């Protein structure tokens, strides 16, 4: 394992940091973004500047607007961007998952049509996979597309579609052949989110936000020229998207060991003796988070070393999200409990770290589900990392139409 930047990587990091400082200024300048509209506007403006400066599509082919740099350069840029709290969230799904799938499977003229506007932040994309009865088992989805001349007609419902209410395009996984096994009768399309028959209904969350949606499709026409890959090959196309998703959602976005240590130092112990830091039970928890965070960091260095050598990280990457999402929830819960009755105050003007522990507490359950639930990740780790026997799969070799789905 090599923990240090090579001289070329160090030079790129310094250059990126200088550009971020010049372009974004200190992170505090973005604390004024109150509404989702503000965030989208600021994110689009930032993305346009980033594209003009050549910091987009770092690892992508040059003919699609990329720079063909090794993946480690994307890791370095993202690390620096995170330090400046760059407004990038609306583009995570599009540029992290949808557009790489478009590049891998769409026609040359469509790649030209979609990639540039996405890289410049002019168009935002969403991922339309999950359905009310198809999440972990997404290949069991019901939304269907039926061929009609040069078009397909789509009917059905998606759910948990992040950002659908402000997106321009999406990648849509549908069933085109119910006679085949569930994984083999699927096809992927690009869908215009403003097309007639597409109805987006926001879902209100316990955090007060409305990040994701139900999306209904009623006789939506999609041209066959918007198909990604072969008819019936949608599962393999989706695997490319999902592989990118696991890498994209691995990191923790909440307060970490350093922040809770500081809180414990400055918060009275419930016993009334000294600070929370002197509380034996709390010290044990602190030690656990420290070990988990350090373990994750060392695992990440291993991934970075693999990327640096041009290798593709494997299923062991599922460990990162599993550890981080659980640590985030546990740590935020302990921070709020540790503050005793003050813990109910989430107002950023008063709460520690501008309410970051409360935000993490609300966000962590979602993170434990998005991009693969804890149980699914444990199955992956058990089967593909540790080589344990496979989970029982009762639907192998059965046509989708013969599965007992309760229809």
Ligand X SMILES: Cc1cc2nc3c(=O)[nH]c(=O)nc-3n(C[C@H](O)[C@H](O)[C@H](O)COP(=O)(O)OP(=O)(O)OC[C@H]3O[C@@H](n4cnc5c(N)ncnc54)[C@H](O)[C@@H]3O)c2cc1C
Report the distance separating Cα 79 and Cα 265, nearest Å: 28
What is the DSSP code string of 86-97? -S-GGGHHIIII
Question: 263, 285 in Cβ contact below 8 A?
Answer: no
245 has catalytic annotation: yes
Among positions 202-261, residues that touch ligand X (CB under 6 A) are 212
Among positions 39-98, residues that touch ligand X (CB under 6 A) are 93
**φ, ψ (nearest 5 deg) of residue 265:** -65, -35
Binding flag, residue 369, ligand X (CB under 6 A) = yes
Q: First CA to last CA across the chain, in angstroms?
A: 52
Residue closer to ligand X (CB basis): 121 or 371: 371
Binding flag, residue 125, ligand X (CB under 6 A) = no
Contact window for ligand X (CB under 6 A) among 65-73, 102-110, 123-131, 179-187 = 123-131
Among 43, 74, 101, 127, binds ligand X (CB under 6 A): 127
Report the distance separating Cα 246 and Cα 249, nearest Å: 6
- Identify the active-site residue in 245, 256, 284, 316: 245
Among 379, 385, 399, 403, binds ligand X (CB under 6 A): 379
Binding flag, residue 38, ligand X (CB under 6 A) = no
Residue closer to ligand X (CB basis): 305 or 379: 379
> What ranges make up the beta strands (E) of 206-318?
212-223, 227-228
What DSSP designation does 392 have? P
CB-closest chain residue to ligand X: 135
Residue/partner pairs of 35-44 with CB below 8 Å, 24 or more apart: 36/166, 36/209, 39/87, 39/89, 39/90, 40/90, 40/124, 40/166, 42/87, 43/87, 43/88, 43/89, 43/90, 43/91, 43/121, 44/90, 44/121, 44/122
Give the residue carrying structure tokens 């370095």.
76
Least distance (Å) from ligand X to the CB of residue 350?
27
Angle at 183 between CA 181 and CA 189, to 5 degrees: 125
Contact window for ligand X (CB under 6 A) among 141-149, 154-162, 282-290, 342-350 = 154-162
Binding flag, residue 136, ligand X (CB under 6 A) = yes
Binding flag, residue 375, ligand X (CB under 6 A) = yes
Residue closer to ligand X (CB basis): 100 or 135: 135
From residue 159 to residue 178, the character string flagging contacts with ligand X as x (rule: CB under 6 A) and all else as - is -xxx----------------
Among 57, 135, 185, 343, binds ligand X (CB under 6 A): 135
Least distance (Å) from ligand X to the CB of residue 58?
23
Residues annotated as part of the active site: 245
């Amino acid at each position: 394992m090599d923990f240090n930047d090579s001289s070329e990587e160090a030079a790129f990091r310094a250059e990126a940091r200088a550009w971020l400082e010049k372009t974004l200024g200190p992170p505090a300048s973005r604390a004024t973004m109150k509404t989702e509209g503000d965030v989208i506007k600021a994110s689009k403006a930032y993305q346009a500047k980033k594209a003009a400066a050549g910091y987009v599509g770092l690892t992508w082919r040059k003919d699609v607007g990329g720079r063909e740099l090794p993946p480690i350069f994307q890791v370095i840029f993202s690390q620096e961007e995170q330090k400046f709290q760059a407004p990038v969230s609306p583009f995570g799904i599009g540029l992290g998952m949808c557009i790489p799938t478009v590049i891998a499977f769409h026609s040359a003229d469509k790649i030209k049509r979609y990639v540039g506007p996405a890289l410049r932040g002019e168009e935002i994309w969403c991922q339309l996979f999950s359905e009310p009865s198809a999440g972990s088992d997404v290949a069991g989805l019901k939304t269907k597309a039926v061929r009609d001349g040069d078009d397909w007609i789509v009917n059905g419902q998606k759910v948990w579609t992040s950002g659908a209410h402000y997106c321009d395009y999406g990648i849509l996984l549908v069933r085109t052949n119910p006679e085949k096994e569930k994984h083999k009768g699927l096809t992927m399309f690009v869908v215009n989110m403003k097309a007639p028959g597409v109805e987006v209904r926001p879902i209100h969350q316990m955090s007060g936000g409305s990040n994701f949606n139900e999306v209904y499709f009623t006789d939506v026409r999609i041209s066959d020229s918007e198909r990604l890959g072969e008819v019936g090959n949608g599962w393999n196309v989706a695997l490319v998207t999902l592989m990118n998703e696991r890498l994209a959602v691995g990191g923790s976005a909440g307060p970490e060991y350093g922040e809770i240590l500081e809180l414990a130092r400055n918060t009275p112990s419930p016993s009334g003796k000294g600070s929370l830091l002197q509380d034996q039970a709390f010290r044990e928890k602190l030690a656990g988070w420290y070990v988990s965070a350090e373990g994750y960091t060392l695992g990440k260095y291993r991934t970075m070393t693999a990327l640096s050598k041009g290798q593709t990280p494997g299923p062991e990457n599922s460990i990162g999200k599993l550890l981080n999402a659980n640590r985030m929830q546990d740590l935020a819960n302990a921070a709020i409990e540790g503050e005793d009755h003050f813990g109910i105050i989430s107002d950023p003007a008063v709460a520690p770290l501008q309410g970051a522990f409360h935000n993490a507490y609300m966000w962590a359950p979602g993170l434990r589900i998005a991009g693969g639930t804890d149980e699914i990740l444990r199955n992956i780790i058990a089967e593909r990392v540790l080589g344990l026997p496979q989970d029982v799969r009762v639907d192998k070799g059965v046509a989708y139409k013969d599965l007992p789905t309760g229809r």
